[in-house]
Structure 1
Amino acid sequence: MAKGPVDPNAMKALNEMKYEIANELGITKNLLTNESGLDSGKNVFYGGYVGGHMTKKLVEMGEKELMNYNKNL
């Protein structure tokens, strides 16, 4: 799959969302540092957990945008 240019603002927004969700889940420290002594398997688990929540929020945001768009037609 070819990758196009990445919008730096989009990357910044996604990173901010990642840390916001990690904070909501109480696992920010685990993502920022490895002071917690987590092994790579647990780091992958936390990353997947946060990624899943990010996907869910992005889908919800998209659904709201579509509903608002359809209301304005």
Structure 2
Amino acid sequence: MSKKSLVPEAQAALDQLKKEIANESGMPVKNNNYSEMTSNQYGYMVKQMIEEQKKQMIDKYS
């Protein structure tokens, strides 16, 4: 399976969101390298990203 983005323009926004959530959570991220994170930390970060997206969708469609 290819890692090619369906919407290439969205990659920068996704990277920015990941960076913001990692910084807010105090997680170790250097130059978009998430290899020092534990699986629990990365899972938490993904959960936060989903929650943020839910909030944005609710605000948009309310």
With the shorter chain as reference, the TM-score category is 0.5 to 0.7
The structure carrying a bigger helix percent of its residues is 1
Alignment partner, residue 49 of structure 1: 41
Query: Which residue of 25, 29, 43 corresponds with 1:31?
Result: 29
Consecutive unaligned residues of structure 1, counting only runs of 5 or more, are 34-39
Distance 1:60 1:25, change over 3 A: closer
With over 3 angstroms needed to count, the CA separation of the structure-2 counterparts of 1:18 and 1:4, relative to structure 1, is closer
1:7-66 per-residue CA deviation (whole Å, 9 max, x = no partner) reads: 222211111011101110122xx2116xxxxxx6xx140x65144323343255247626
TM-score (norm 2): 0.52
What is the alpha-carbon root mean square deviation over aligned residues? 3.3
* Structure 2: gaps spanning 5 or more residues: none
Aligned to 1:16: 16
Matched length = 58
